[in-house]
Amino acid sequence: MNIILISNKSERAKNIVLTNAHLILAASILLIISIILAIGLNYLSLRYGDKIHNQISRLLMVSSQQEESDAHAHLHDNLDVMAVKLGQMQAQLMRLDALGERLAKSSGVKTQEFLFDKMPGQGGALPTLFSPALSVDEFNQRLNELSYVIDDREDKFGVLESLLRQDRLTKRVYPSRMPIDNGWYSSGFGYRIDPFSGRRVFHEGVDFAAKKGTPIKAAAGGVVIYSARHPEYGNMVEIDHGDELVSRYAHASKRLVNLGQIVLSGQKIAEVGSTGRSTGPHLHFEIRHKNVPQNPSRYLKKPS
């Protein structure tokens, strides 16, 4: 093999001749170098392999422990949040239990029929199919949904309690109580023959025959807007029950309340007499709405 070398500095070219001996020598050198490198790498792997493997294993273990620690911290944070929500829901349930008992008592339902402090009974056949366990995210979602339902029920119970309270208040100021305990109608509401003129006139209330001194009681709670002597009604008391609804008590022998006084349903406000335009001891009772006389029989509830 001839190799010709040409240089810019020299005008003459150099000619190198490689024989078979030269090629065999070069191949032998390359083989020896390869063998030395292989022996060196094998030596290094035997001497330092354990250390390298341990370092790699340590790095993998640290990475795995870090991931497990992060997952545990995330789970712990989620459990803390769910524990706070659970505590709030328990407080809401306690309020709902108390509210439910009040509503049951207000509505007249026996509280024994609704045991708010006990779980309702449940049962059924042994299931054949089981769904997989809930994950943390699914459990958190169910918890949020249940919290929303509890909030909604609490709002509705609050509205229902307000309605029941308003209904009870309306009944308290609704003139439905008999003003005389043992009285009886001696004259009804509507047209009748006037005992003084003998003419047919409209009677704007009802008369209760009773003995002089018989207690006259408020038909409902309210505010006294009139307590004085009237030229025709004699000693008269008027009570405003709100919503422009007024009850009137006339011909009393004695008045026991004053103008502006607040009275309760069934409270004694006067005594039966025969003052004013009257033929004898009795109570003249009226109910007026927007100053229009109403039939008291539609309001009063006779005792059973």
pLDDT tens per residue across span 10-55:
566 666 666 777 677 777 788 888 888 877 777 666 666 666 666 6
d(CA 142, CA 86): 12
Confidence label for 117 from pLDDT (cuts 50, 70 and 90): low
d(CA 60, CA 66): 10
Q: What is the homologous superfamily of the domain 184-298 according to CATH?
A: Glucose Permease (Domain IIA) (2.70.70.10)
Most confident of 74-78, 81-85, 128-132, 265-269: 265-269
Tens of pLDDT, residue by residue over 222-244, are 999 999 999 999 999 999 998 88
Average pLDDT over every residue of 265-290: 94
**b/e string for 247-267 if b means 16 or more Cβ within 10 A?**
bbbbbbbebbbeeebebebbb
What's the token pair of residue 35? 């063998």
CB 280 within 8 A of CB 221: no
Of 59-73, 74-88, 113-127, the one with minimum mean pLDDT is 113-127
Most confident of 6-10, 65-69, 89-93, 251-255: 251-255
Average pLDDT over every residue of 159-172: 61
| Residue whose C-alpha is closest to residue 269's, from 239, 300, 295, 303 | 239
Confidence label for 187 from pLDDT (cuts 50, 70 and 90): confident
Whole-number average pLDDT of the chain: 78
Across the chain, where does the E strand assignment appear? 2-5, 14-17, 184-187, 190-193, 200-203, 206-209, 215-217, 222-230, 234-240, 245-255, 262-263, 268-272, 282-289, 292-294
Average pLDDT over every residue of 178-202: 84
| Residue whose C-alpha is closest to residue 266's, from 226, 228, 303 | 303
What's the token pair of residue 212? 């002089």
- pLDDT for 11 equals 60
- pLDDT for 254 equals 96
